[in-house]
A = this chain, B = another copy of it.
Amino acid sequence: MSKQGVTPQSENFSDWYNEIVYRADLAARSPVRGCLIIKPYGYEIWEAIHNSLDRRFKETGHQNAYFPLFIPESYLKREAEHVEGFSPELAVVTVAGGKELEEPLVVRPTSETVIGEAFSEWIQSYRDLPLLINQWANVVRWELRTRPFLRTSEFLWQEGHTAHATHEEAEAETLQMLDVYADFAINEAAIPVIKGLKSNIERFAGALRTYTIEGMMRDTRALQSGTSHNLGQNFAKAFDIKYLDEQNEQQYCWTTSWGMSTRMIGAIIMTHGDDQGLRLPPKVAPYQVVAIPIFRKEEEEAPVMEKLMNIVKDLRAAGIRVHVDDRNQSPGFKFNDWEMRGVPVRLEIGPKDVEKGNAVLVRRDVAGRDAKQFVSQDGIVKTVQDLLDDVQASLLADATAFRDANIHDVSSYDEFRQVIDGGGWARGWWAGSDDNERQIKEDTGATLRCIPLEQPGGTGTCFYSDEVAQSVALFAKAY
């Protein structure tokens, strides 16, 4: 058990995860099955994700809009492949305003259909292209087995939807947004995701190509953390999204969609957490620093608090998010509490520190004695800033080392099975069929996570089918 009574990761990762979500006050259970209450400490992580992505979307020329929560049932039937993917998960409004509705309304599981219909009206000519829209919204997919943040019946996400004149432009957009997701994941969430292409079996219903970023969680399972779809002309044909080209001829548009959700909060928890609880990357942490006053005698309180609050004021003026824990609890209790809740840096000030002009800084990412340092109050803003940068970088380095240590190259199915059974990710040359892929999943529980964009080059022999393969693929057990 951890100091806070949380089941250790090493003992039972799944229990650890479920406990930490509630113990760290990220979320609370709700009265509706499969729906979560996101508490402020969890919601602030979502705000950080929202703000980081929204800035990137706007920098790449996208605008936000808002489309209705409800979708007429008939809409979902227009794109046959698409509806198949969603129908068992739909929540349906049949009564509204005290009356049975003539046509039931589906609570959006995604907005492709209603946005497709809107695009068909908004787009007339090549001058209207590209159309680059994003929506921040809640969506509902009724789930039988739910896990907080990872799989809930309602979740928050953003969904980008764009229309283009050519396949090339749509493909460039799809890859650009994949890069945006990867950039956010790596440089803000400190998750060293791998970018790649989904297989036929794993791609989004109705898409031409689905790209993904895959992260390795601390139990070595893969988590799909964001996807970007080149929808080809499938949705444009289903929803009649056409434009007049420069030669005055009608053409179908090429569309894309891409999304990232509150699932990313789960990815952050599971990438960085340890036996003591959360470890939050400074860039997405609600509190980057927790400041704790240390005193025993009553007369020590005033000078300690005064000094502490002066430093806190300076830190905040520099844009650092600081929480002051002045609860009527022992320092030890507070240390354990904030360690469990993953605050990147702890600042302590005691009577001796006031006297000597010192302070204690403790970093969360490092265990044991090395975590603690005594620093001067002079220049402490810079010291803390540098330490936060260091924690951010070290969490990424740590996750990258963990990832790389658990990806193994395989050249035969025997090797593959050993790697998967041992909890690793298997990387090997792949030329298998859809049926081969399904058989592997049945045999081992592993799925083809992606064909990484970064390839060794050349060709090789497929570890499963022995045929000549053009690329390597990554397989793993996944969430």
Residues on A lying within 8 angstroms of B by beta carbon are 28, 30-32, 35-40, 43-44, 46-47, 63-72, 75, 87-98, 104-105, 107, 114, 117-118, 121-122, 127, 133, 137-138, 140, 142-144, 153-154, 156, 327-328
Flag if B64 contacts A40 (CB, 8 Å): yes
Flag if A67 contacts B138 (CB, 8 Å): no
Flag if B38 contacts A66 (CB, 8 Å): yes
- Tell me which residues across on chain B come within 8 A of A67, comparing CB atoms: 30, 37
Flag if B37 contacts A118 (CB, 8 Å): yes
Flag if B68 contacts A30 (CB, 8 Å): yes
With A32-B105, A97-B142, A121-B28 in contact, is A66–B37 under 8 Å at CB? Answer: yes
With A31-B72, A65-B39, A66-B37 in contact, is A95–B94 under 8 Å at CB? Answer: yes
Write the nearest CB–CB distance from A77 to chain B, whole angstroms.
13
Q: With A and B bound together, what is the CA distance between A89 and B96 in angstroms?
A: 7
- Tell me which residues across on chain B come within 8 A of A117, comparing CB atoms: 31
The complex is assembled from copies of this chain, and their number is 2
Flag if B38 contacts A65 (CB, 8 Å): yes
With A66-B43, A70-B35 in contact, is A98–B94 under 8 Å at CB? Answer: no
Write the nearest CB–CB distance from A341 to chain B, whole angstroms.
15
A/B interface sample: 16 pairs, CB < 8 A: A28-B121, A30-B118, A31-B71, A31-B72, A31-B114, A37-B118, A38-B65, A43-B63, A68-B154, A69-B107, A88-B98, A93-B93, A96-B142, A97-B142, A97-B143, A137-B138
Write the nearest CB–CB distance from A129 to chain B, whole angstroms.
14
Flag if A35 contacts B98 (CB, 8 Å): no
- Tell me which residues across on chain B come within 8 A of A104, comparing CB atoms: 95
- Tell me which residues across on chain B come within 8 A of A31, comparing CB atoms: 68, 71-72, 75, 114, 117
Flag if B30 contacts A114 (CB, 8 Å): yes
With A31-B117, A39-B65, A72-B31 in contact, is A91–B96 under 8 Å at CB? Answer: yes
Flag if B64 contacts A144 (CB, 8 Å): no
- Tell me which residues across on chain B come within 8 A of A75, comparing CB atoms: 31
- Tell me which residues across on chain B come within 8 A of A87, comparing CB atoms: 98
Flag if B69 contacts A144 (CB, 8 Å): no
- Nearest 3 CB-CB pairs, A to B? A40-B63, A97-B142, A35-B68
- Tell me which residues across on chain B come within 8 A of A35, comparing CB atoms: 68-70
Flag if B91 contacts A92 (CB, 8 Å): no
Flag if A37 contacts B94 (CB, 8 Å): no
Flag if A70 contacts B40 (CB, 8 Å): no
Q: With A and B bound together, what is the CA distance between A144 and B93 in angstroms?
A: 17
Q: With A and B bound together, what is the CA distance between A353 and B39 in angstroms?
A: 56
Q: With A and B bound together, what is the CA distance between A118 and B22 in angstroms?
A: 14
Write the nearest CB–CB distance from A133 to chain B, whole angstroms.
7
Which of B63, B69, B92, B97 sits near A96, CB closer than 8 Å?
B92
Q: With A and B bound together, what is the CA distance between A328 and B246 in angstroms?
A: 14
Among the interface residues A36, A69, A327, which one has the most CB atoms of the partner chain B within 10 A?
Answer: A69
Flag if B94 contacts A89 (CB, 8 Å): no
